[in-house]
């Protein structure tokens, strides 16, 4: 067991039973012209974490620990997109509309893809999810069971939406989850701060948080396994 200096108390990382879940680092959320920007958001905040998420992925790859990527999106016929989701807000582009990066949040379109810097490599699992949580209507639970994972390290966007929803789903399924503070981001800094507090309050009611440096320090010197 590796002890990671975390909030609200050390996170017990179990090598061989820990998977990294990188949530929705897609062009549609991170780059201009996508879904995130169409909702009026400044995407530069999200772009800024790409190098840190890259370092986190590299740490897992170097040790041969599993890396799982998720993508939020829908089938081209929108059969898996509830009208309530498509109709929400007042975006300049709705889900399925044609934008600068193809149809917004539709499988296979350029905007649906993960940013080049964080692209999955052969052997890594990619979970396509129609909802905010990565367990809902996906095979993530089965994949984690197959891997024997009991502990999750979590990163990605946005902190208070898909990241927090996924952590809550995982928590209810019995996973111990560590969110990497500088490898997650929100369009709203106050929402990120509040989400981190909600996760760690009441004795890690949803999970733990720590900066990437704490994880790097904890695993430093350990042989890849």
CB of 133 or CB of 218, closer to ligand C5J? 133
Which of these, 16, 22, 120, 125, lies nearest to 63 by C-alpha position? 16
Active site residues: 24, 129, 162
Rounded distance between C-alpha atoms, residue 23 and residue 219, angstroms: 22
CB of 158 or CB of 200, closer to ligand C5J? 158
Name the minimum Å distance from CB 105 to ligand C5J: 9
CB of 17 or CB of 86, closer to ligand C5J? 86
End-to-end CA distance of the chain: 12
Residues that bind ligand C5J (CB under 6 A): 24, 29, 72, 157-158, 161-162
DSSP state of 73: -
Name the minimum Å distance from CB 163 to ligand C5J: 7
Question: Count of CB atoms within 10 A of residue 186's CB?
Answer: 22
Name the minimum Å distance from CB 190 to ligand C5J: 15
Name the minimum Å distance from CB 168 to ligand C5J: 13
Contact 25, 157 (CB under 8 A): yes
CB of 66 or CB of 133, closer to ligand C5J? 133
Alpha helices in the chain (DSSP H): 27-30, 35-38, 44-47, 50-63, 83-86, 140-147, 164-172, 189-204, 212-219
- Phi, psi angles (nearest 5°) of residue 201: -65, 165
Name the minimum Å distance from CB 203 to ligand C5J: 26
CB of 52 or CB of 158, closer to ligand C5J? 158
Contact 178, 4 (CB under 8 A): yes
């Amino acid at each position: 067991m590796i002890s990671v200096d975390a909030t609200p108390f050390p996170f017990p990382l179990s090598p061989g039973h820990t998977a990294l879940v990188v949530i929705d680092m897609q062009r549609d959320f991170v780059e201009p012209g996508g879904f995130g920007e169409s909702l009026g958001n400044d995407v530069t905040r999200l772009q800024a974490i790409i190098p840190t998420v890259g370092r986190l992925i590299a740490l897992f790859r170097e040790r041969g620990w599993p890396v799982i990527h998720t993508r939020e999106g829908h089938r081209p016929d929108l059969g898996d997109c509830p009208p309530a989701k498509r109709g929400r807000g007042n975006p300049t582009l709705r889900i399925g509309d044609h934008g600068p990066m193809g149809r917004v949040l539709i499988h296979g379109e350029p905007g649906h893809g993960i940013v080049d810097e964080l692209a999955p490599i052969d052997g890594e699992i990619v979970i396509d999810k129609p909802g905010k949580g990565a367990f809902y209507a996906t095979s993530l639970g089965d994949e984690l069971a197959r891997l024997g994972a009991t502990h999750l390290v979590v990163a990605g966007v946005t902190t208070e939406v898909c990241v927090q929803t996924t952590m809550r789903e995982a928590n209810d399924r019995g996973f111990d989850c560590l969110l990497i503070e500088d490898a997650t981001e929100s369009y709203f800094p106050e929402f990120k701060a509040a989400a981190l507090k909600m996760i760690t309050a009441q004795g890690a009611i949803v999970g733990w948080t720590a900066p990437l440096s704490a994880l790097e320090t904890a695993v430093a010197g350990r042989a890849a396994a």
